[in-house]
Amino acid sequence: MDLQLTGKTALVTGASMGIGRAIARGLAAEGVRVAVLARRAELLETLAAEIVAAGGVRPALIVQDIMAEDAAARVRDAALAALGKVEILVNNAGGSRPLPVDAPEERWTEALTLNFTRQRQLTHALLPQMIAGNWGRIINVTGKSEPEGLNAAFAAKAAIHAWAKGLSREVGKHGITVNSIPPGRIMSEQIRRNYPEDYRKHFAETEIPVRYWGEPEDLAVMAVFLASPLARYVTGTVIPVDGGLRRYQF
């Protein structure tokens, strides 16, 4: 299937590893000119080399801490300087933040800033030029809605779902879609560090209907489709990629 993405431009945040890296590679493979954002320059360099080796255009590298006060403006300016315009935005940067009940306020503030506020700010910083071009794709990599305990990232990702739904109703008339993808158990640097193999095997056999943990590419294929012109009638949605892990029906 031709996804009609050749020549489009995209910014992918949190692109140094895991899901963000896979999405950047997937978009580049479809002919998209990509700018990739992360804090670790050396990992972005290896990503760029992989994309070029696979026949893609070398991506623009943006080394930036998304937590910086002026991160949204800095990233917008760098991406527009490199690409001319940003037609596809993938908000992937973020991180799990389990907290005790008595966690201090600053830890909640940090988690909400990382997992909601910066994504909202960057999106709104890029919206005017999407509106001017009468086309855009905003894709948020979020989180599950069945937390097993208190995790500030889950609260922030739920905020993204509500914000993205409202935004989709405002910008649809401009040819812009806004969708969210909550990942299930996707293998990553963090997962391998925090969950031993025997635990992963048992969890897959007892909790995941397809019986295995996903790979970043399993989610990337959904993100690449949602980024395409073919997905023009899909907006305001939350589409889990989780091997059937979630238990609720809608």
Domain map (residue ranges) of the chain:
9-231
Q: Using one digit for the tens of pLDDT, what is the confidence trace for 50-98? A: 999 999 999 999 999 999 999 999 999 999 999 999 999 999 999 889 8
80 φ/ψ angles, rounded to the nearest 5 degrees: -70, -35
Q: What DSSP character marks residue 56?
A: P
> Is residue 106 scored above 80 in pLDDT?
yes
Higher pLDDT among residues 235 and 99, named by residue: 235
pTM: 0.95
pLDDT in tens, 23-55: 999 999 999 999 999 999 999 999 999 999 999
Residue range 224-250: mean pLDDT, rounded: 93
Which pLDDT band, with edges at 50, 70 and 90, does 250 fall under?
low
The strand pair at 88-91 and 9-12 is best described as: parallel
The CATH number assigned to the domain with range 9-231 reads 3.40.50.720
Q: What is the pLDDT of residue 68?
A: 93
pLDDT at 246: 87
Q: Any bridge partners for residue 140, and if so which?
A: 91, 180
Average pLDDT of span 126-145: 95
Confidence of residue 193 (pLDDT cuts 50, 70, 90): confident
Question: How far is residue 188's CA from residue 38's CA, in Å, rounded to a whole number?
Answer: 16
